[in-house]
Structure 1
Amino acid sequence: MSEVESEADEVAESDEAVEPDEAAEAGRDEIWIEKYRPERLDEVAGHEDITERLSRYVERDDLPNLLFSGPAGVGKTTSAVAIAKELYGDDWESNFLELNASDQRGIDVVRDRIKNFARSSFGGYNYRIIFLDEADSLTSDAQSALRRTMEQFSSNTRFILSCNYSSKIIDPIQSRCATFRFGPISDEGVTEQILKVAEQEGIETTEDGVEALVYAADGDMRKAINALQAAAVMGEVVDEEAVFTITSTARPEEIEEMVTHAIEGDFSKSRSILDDLLTNKGMAGGDIIDQLHRSVWEFDLSDEATVRLMDRVGEVDYRITEGANERVQLEALLASLSLEQN
């Protein structure tokens, strides 16, 4: 028997020796967002139209420079890594350079690390891939240097840029890339993935628990899976209570009750709910504003009241962004809604 066959038998025997419960317990020590990160483009959830087009580039081995834009946790990095794995197989790590522009913003990064990687020799492939995450954090000078580097090494290097806002990428770079816009993942896509992970990990979920995970995630698959893993530690069943506790998210009905009391002119009750959210639940003012904005059209309010609320939300969000006190601004929002009824 050859050494390879002998080692294969030993691995098989060791796998058989592991009890299912032990394997599941060992799996829980891993970070689930990495454990269940898709390996191929056709496994990326929620963006079938995008992954189909990217797969055609991979099949033809004719990859252009790419620009992925969209919110966090929707599959931009996963798609970039999947492209590399499909193109290079086991050699993907040596042919794929990942940089995070938010940590390395300077022009020296473009001039040094990127150029050194692009210049280094390699064999067997037509090009290597440089993945620049959060590229919209690069300074204008760094982006200009990046543009020149993209031109200089166009024969043997492909760039994949990831950003939240493509408008912050200079036009010369945008014109050199095929742009793909990733939107938030649909509620159905998040639900399907949550149930799949829960089944793999042997986690019991309730219907309202899954709905709470979907609401808290708001289209962010990474946030949904992280929340599922955190909630699974709290008890045997992942229910609504566990999810809202672990994610520090207000229930939609709490937000609606707070706004409804304010619109009805009862500022004291409205302020009491706000105080509970900020003090007892430890929510940030910005998170409350985000939930207000997400849920405002779902409230049982008249069109006139909804428009007034949206106007106040926009003003308060701007002031908080500019550095104003969160509690004061939120209380002022509720007060202004109450005063209109008195």
Structure 2
Amino acid sequence: MPVFGIFVPPTIKRLRTSLYRDALPFSKNLRLKRRSDVDPMGREVSSEDSQRYCNVPNLIISGPPGCGKTTSVWALARDMLGVQIKDACLELNASDERGIDVVRDKIKQFAARKVTLPLGRHKIVILDEADSMTDGAQQALRRIMEVYSSTTRFAFACNQSDKIIEPLQSRCAIVRYGKLTDKEMLSRLLYVCSEEKVEYNNDGLEAILFTAQGDMRQALNNLQCTVAGYGKLSKEAVYKVCDEPHPEKLREMFELCVHGEVFQAFEIMNDLYRLGYSVDDLMSSMFKIVKQIDLPEAIRLEFIMEIGKCHALVLQGLATRVQLAGLVGRLCQTQSRLASD
């Protein structure tokens, strides 16, 4: 029993830790920790020289949301720094702290601070959403990278690397990520379901993959919301939680359009519109589905072109039911138009 302070039984400590863990979202609670965990998902962050940690370059990792940019950088930092990561790693969200004062104060002070590390290791500054930084802050950061290049490495995670100024890009190795494949996402979802004791079926997992569209963070958030609301993962529960038009209805509509059944096809579209889905929601879901269904390639391309034209009009402010009716009519004419050509 300690002399000072209040004694906390181990059982209470474990309960407190468990409650804190349960309060975290899946995307934070089950984030990959080591680079060896990240590599199987196809997210390499460095070359063979960097794997030995003796010459890790400054990094710019760009890609769409939820593809593992920040996770990759943290995994590399943990492998490099080990138990010293708290003292030798600084993370800033550049979308919140993006001014020149942050660069001059926080980042410069951290870069100038002395931390005892093994030979060949460096302190790491992680700047998340770095494409939100102002030009002035990026210019100030360029000088800091030059002065402290022997002790500090910088890792930028951003959605668009072209918003990073050229002088910073020239000092970094640029790694570009694409969206995760369904296979990569499925393996991680199965692991999360196993760890969290989630009851699921294959249709539910397919629904998660469809709604996420390669965004792992969104997939985990949708999974957690569905389980919290319905206690299990099923297809119907996922579409209710995500509030997206049901894909089966839209698939049926496309089949009717291929056969020229204009009235039946519009009835399905009209029913979805009456359920409260906006025209923009319906356009977005149609784009996703038309790429997946089994169609002749010529018809698929015509469908994509017509949906794109209609979506452009909708984004200009013409989001009415008339647009949906016109789109369905043009889709139903596609087969006969191609036959006449």
TM norm structure 1 = 0.80
Partner of 2:172: 177
2:26 aligned residue: 32
What are the equivalent positions in structure 2 for 1:55-134 lying under 5 Å apart?
Answer: 57=50, 59-119=52-112, 121-125=113-117, 127-134=122-129
Aligned to 1:137: 132
Cα shift at 1:65? 0.5
Counterparts of 1:45 and 1:245 in 2: how far apart (Å)?
A: 34
Identity of aligned residues (%): 34
Post-superposition CA distance 1:164-196 (Å, at most 9, x none): 222333333222211222222222222222122
Structure 1: gaps (5+ residues): 4-9
Letter paired with 1:96? C
Distance in 2, matches of 1:114 and 1:26, equals 30
Instruction: Pick from 223, 228, 239 the counterpart of residue 223 of structure 2.
Output: 228
Match of 1:308? Answer: 302
Alignment partner of 1:197 out of 187, 192, 196: 192
- Code of the residue aligned with 1:68 in structure 2: it is I
1:208 aligns with 2:182: no
Q: 1:23 to 1:169 in 2, by over 3 A?
A: closer
Number of matched residues?
A: 330
In structure 2, the CA distance between the partners of 1:275 and 1:111, relative to structure 1 (3 Å rule), is farther
Seen in structure 2, the aligned counterparts of structure 1 residues 268 and 163 have a Cα distance that, compared at 3 Å, is farther
Equivalent residue in structure 1 for 2:36, among 30, 34, 42: 42
Distance in 2, matches of 1:325 and 1:148, equals 49
Task: Please name the residue that 1:337 is paired with.
Answer: 331
Tell me by how many angstroms 1:240 deviates.
1.1
Check whether the contact 1:203–1:238 (CA below 8 A) recurs between aligned residues. Answer: yes
Alignment of 1:143-158 (within 5 A): 143-158=138-153
Per the alignment, residue 5 of structure 2 pairs with none
RMSD: 3.6
TM-superposed deviation, 1:160: 0.8
Note the C-alpha offset of 1:260. Answer: 3.9
Residues 41, 184 of structure 2: 8 Å contact kept: no
For 2:238 and 2:21, the matched residues in 1 are separated by 21
Per-residue deviation, 1:224:
1.6
Deviation for aligned residue 1:306: 1.6
Classify 1:272/1:48 alpha carbon distance in 2 versus 1 (closer, same or farther; 3 Å): same
CA deviations over 1:13-64 (Å, ceiling 9, x no partner): 668x97xxx998875433211110111111126544615x368525334221
**Superposed CA offset, 1:214-253 (max 9, x none):** 2222222212221221111233431111112112233332
Q: Which one of 276, 289, 299 corresponds to residue 293 of structure 2? A: 299
Amino acid of the residue matched to residue 168 of structure 1? K
Query: Cα distance, 1:291 vs. partner?
Result: 3.2
Query: Equivalent residue for 1:7?
Result: none
SS of 1:57's equivalent in the other structure is helix
| C-alpha displacement of 1:118 | 2.7
TM-score, length of structure 2 as denominator length:
0.80
Q: Which structure 2 segments of 5+ residues have no match?
A: 3-8
Amino acid of the structure 2 residue aligned with 1:219: G
Q: Equivalents in 1 of 2:327, 2:101: separation in Å?
A: 45
